[in-house]
């Protein structure tokens, strides 16, 4: 059993991560701006009111925790610092109590793989990265911050996410391009995260995942 803190728990992937972590027997703490709206209640779940940008509201709950999971994200396409500033505040709180393990969500298309096909490169550069310009730019800043943090970080990079049942069947690639990436159920993304909480092969690594 691990003691886990989850940011972005009210989003689609965050809810799946919390549910599956609880099902696996872990203790879970979530940091939420609107705790009353959170749909999950469990004896192993602790709900804290707070905002990732205001660490004084939550950093005291980091004591005794083992792992931080960030499912932070935004729905609207507008300039944002939720990823980069969010992870900066989280890292600061982690270092105060010597937590070293963090898992963050990014996206597969934030990086143009040099060995991808011409069509894939074109789609990523001229379609996907234009549609998600602001969030992708900030995700890349977040990844750079993690790389210089000295922590045991893992960045998990899925393609297009959708709702659907958990299958437990997907492909992954560590620090390498995963060809044929198309989509992934949020439930399977959460399944991967919960089953690789302490997978040292993914430490200081970028993991691409897809069906």
Q: Can you give the pLDDT at residue 78?
A: 79
Rounded to an integer, what distance in angstroms lies between the CA atom of residue 201 and that of residue 195?
13
Rounded to an integer, what distance in angstroms lies between the CA atom of residue 185 and that of residue 37?
23
Two structure tokens written together for 172:
């992954």
Residues of the chain predicted below pLDDT 70? 112-114, 116-131
* 123: three-class secondary structure by DSSP: helix
Distances (CA, A) of 15 to 115, 121, 208: 35, 32, 21
* Arithmetic mean of pLDDT over the chain: 92
Rounded to an integer, what distance in angstroms lies between the CA atom of residue 36 and that of residue 34?
6
Q: Helix, strand, coil: what percent of the chain each, to 5?
A: 35, 20, 40
Q: Can you give the pLDDT at residue 210?
A: 97
Indicate the helix (H) or strand (E) that contains 155: strand 152-157
Task: Work out whether strand 45-49 and strand 183-185 pair parallel, antiparallel, or are unpaired.
Answer: unpaired
* 77: three-class secondary structure by DSSP: coil
The phi, psi pair for 45, rounded to 5°, reads: -110, 130
* Helix residue ranges per DSSP H, 4-83: 12-23
Residues counted in the chain:
211
On whether the CB atoms of residues 205 and 143 are closer than 8 A, the answer is: no
What pTM was estimated for this model as a whole? 0.92
* Cβ-proximal residues to 57 (8 Å cutoff; 6+ apart), any chain: 48, 49, 50, 51
At the topology level, CATH places domain 3-210 in Rossmann fold (3.40.50)
Under DSSP, the state recorded for 38 is -
On whether the CB atoms of residues 59 and 96 are closer than 8 A, the answer is: yes
Q: Can you give the pLDDT at residue 191?
A: 98
Rounded to an integer, what distance in angstroms lies between the CA atom of residue 9 and that of residue 69?
9
Q: Where are the domains of the chain?
A: 3-210
């Amino acid at each position: 059993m691990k003691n886990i803190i989850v940011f972005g728990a009210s989003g689609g992937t965050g809810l799946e991560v919390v549910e599956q972590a609880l099902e696996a027997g872990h203790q879970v703490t979530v940091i939420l701006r609107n705790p009353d709206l959170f749909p999950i209640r469990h004896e192993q779940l602790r709900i804290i009111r707070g905002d990732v940008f205001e660490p004084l509201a939550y950093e005291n709950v980091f004591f005794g925790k083992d792992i931080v999971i960030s499912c932070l994200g935004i729905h609207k396409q507008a300039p944002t610092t939720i990823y980069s500033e969010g992870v900066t505040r989280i890292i600061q709180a982690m270092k105060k109590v010597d937590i070293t393990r963090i898992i963050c969500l990014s996206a597969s298309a934030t990086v143009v793989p040099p060995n991808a096909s011409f069509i894939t490169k074109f789609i990523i550069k001229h379609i996907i990265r234009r549609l998600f310009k602001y969030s992708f730019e900030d995700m890349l800043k977040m990844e750079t911050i993690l790389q210089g943090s000295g922590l045991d970080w893992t960045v998990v990079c899925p393609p297009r996410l959708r709702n659907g049942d958990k299958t437990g069947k997907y492909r992954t690639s560590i620090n390498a391009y995963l060809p044929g990436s198309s989509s992934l159920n949020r439930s399977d993304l959460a399944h991967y995260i919960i089953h690789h909480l302490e997978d040292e092969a993914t430490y200081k690594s970028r993991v691409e995942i897809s069906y």
